[in-house]
Structure 1
Amino acid sequence: MVQPILLGLLAAFVGFASSFAVVLQGFTAVGASPAQAASGLVMLCLLMGLLGAGFSIVWRMPISIAWSTPGAALLATSGMPEGGFPAAVGAFLAASALLVVAGLWRPFARAVERIPPAIAAAMLAGVLLDLCLAPVRAVGALPWLALPVVLVWAVMLRVQRLWAVPAAVLVAVIALAAGPGLPGGGAWQPPTLVWVTPSFEWGAMVGIALPLFLVTMASQNLPGFAVLSANGYDIKMRPVFLATGAGSFLGGFFGGQLVNLAAITAALCAGPEAHPDPKRRWIAGVFASLGYLGFALVAGVAAAVVAAAPPLLIQAVAGLALLASLAGALSIALAQEPTRLPAIVTFVVVASGLSVGGIGPAFWGLVAGGGLMFLLRRPA
């Protein structure tokens, strides 16, 4: 009984510590105030905990729900939309509605699944590139703060890969405490939810909502289903899409973006490390969810620390957390020769930061790469 409890709590710690900086950076980039960013982080933790525990208990399976880390990276590189954070919240609501549609209308979900993997992976790689360059920039601009973070991350990759990013986060916090100090002495602050009235702007709908939905489906939900299936768990997509879509829609009014099936933490909870008996691993899913509910209590402190830190240092930590995702996305994007050129066009356009008519680069990358793929496939 102890084994799945410990693995579940470990999964929650790794999931939170490895990517909360990415999530907060994403909220800040699209115009959230520190209070709104903290509210969004609290809301995401609550949704992850409640939905994950509910699914795990009802289905007796180790179901892990996570925030969309690639989606957060997309926000971090999208820039503030016209209309500010309310427009971004409107995009969150639209992306959540698309998740619900995917649950209600199976042909729509199948259409999303048929997006060429190379194009989807290239879009993700283009989104991640700028953040993944941040550790290098930080070492050049803030060597005494950033270099220890990067070195600890590299050493921990050799010692224990799972702890590499959490260790880097810890070193960054220590460096801040030894320098300007933590805000308020790092005192605990009660979690607070802040209502955000959405606005619906065309540029945010096309430039944020659609890419956020596609990135979440392609790099979180579908791999999450694959991980569970590989470990012998047969779950239905429809209830997951409906619950995470509806939950994300509610959370959007408090600044939260999408939640979805986890992939990495799902592998921890669903694998043999959690328990030799697959029928007992659902306990790991429950305790991972309880761990996220616990992290909701300290989300305000995390947000305050990130808000007080040099932005480049936070971007560096986020970039370290996303390097593995960038490597995986590039390997998929460039794996097949027939789709290699459309994929690299998608990657270059997204990485360029092109914005036309208030619509961000992720959309234009899909258009450019998808259009070239269609052109090359047409008979001469």
Structure 2
Amino acid sequence: MAEIVINNLRKDFGSFTAVKSSSFRIEDGEFFMLLGPSGCGKTTTLRMIAGLELPTSGEIYIDGEEVGQKPASERDIAFVFQMFALYPHMNVRRNISYPLVSQGMPKAQVKAKVAEVARILGIEEILNRPVGGLSGGDRQRVALGRAIVRDPKAFMMDEPLGALDAEFREHMSEELRALHDRMGATTVYVTHDQLEAMQMGDKIVVMNHGVVEQFGAPQDIYDKPATMFVADFIGSPAMNFLKFRGTVEAGATSVQMHRQGFGIPEMREPFDGDMVFGVRPEHVRLGDEGSYRGRILAAEYLGTTQIVTLDTANGQIKARIGSDRVVRTGDTVALDFDPATVTLFDSASGRALRSDLNEGVLGHG
């Protein structure tokens, strides 16, 4: 398999820039997620890595070789599309074997390779069936089989589960991750689904408007968002944002918001101006005593937990609390926040202010 390195990658379509100076590294054998909303540049980035689009500028290294201007046929990459892209006039066996037959591989070797892939994917019983009558899940397995059979350096997957219903999509995501672990393949996977990315990925790149907002391990991106966009895009419900104006000094471990002090991770830089106090719903604490208060607007029961929406002096926030706690709409409660989990942002730029929470882990291009 292969390490993939992206340096200052850019793609222009006329006057429109789809990808702006992206840089990141995909380790050999990693399951790497390109995550972001529609139009953010993730699929264009994937297509440039695969050679289906040539970059306007920048470098792409696969297994140490610079391939940015080479066509897809010279990159040894396998591509899996959302809509399967199977040959409808061929049965399952012929669809899977097609890349090997095209390369002129001997028939006995082709037969052995197809049998091995069918065993890995659990589709031995459908090898002689036409693809037209298969379920969505089986068709996706066939598409994966056609990619796997080549033993490429890396796999490129463009929302391969997007056409499946929600329940089967979750099942297939587990299968796909298990398949990756068995093969140890380098995989680059595009999705707009943050839950899918968090569940499956070893590393995630979060993109927005053609820019890499942050890259890193799923837990780091969730706990230590580099920007307000990342904090809002990752998590359900998203991170709470409370706007205020104030001053923090380097080394500060608290901040004044609405005439009350709140603990924060130790700050590594001073800041004066408009800020945003960011905290995840599960780190909002409801109590009876305290001067910073919120009025309960609604409570959403989710089984083991409930999501409570509150109105505060700095805006609305959501708290995730145990379902056994009784809350009533209209009641006013005291609010506190776990200091170790707070992120402060520069309101103007949306960037996280550096603290011992995010020091050294802000991977953004």
Max radius of gyration: which structure? 2
TM normalised by structure 2 equals 0.23
Which structure features the higher share of strand residues? Answer: 2
TM-score, normalised by the number of residues in structure 1: 0.22
More helix as a share of residues: 1
Higher relative contact order (CA 8 A, sep 6+): 1
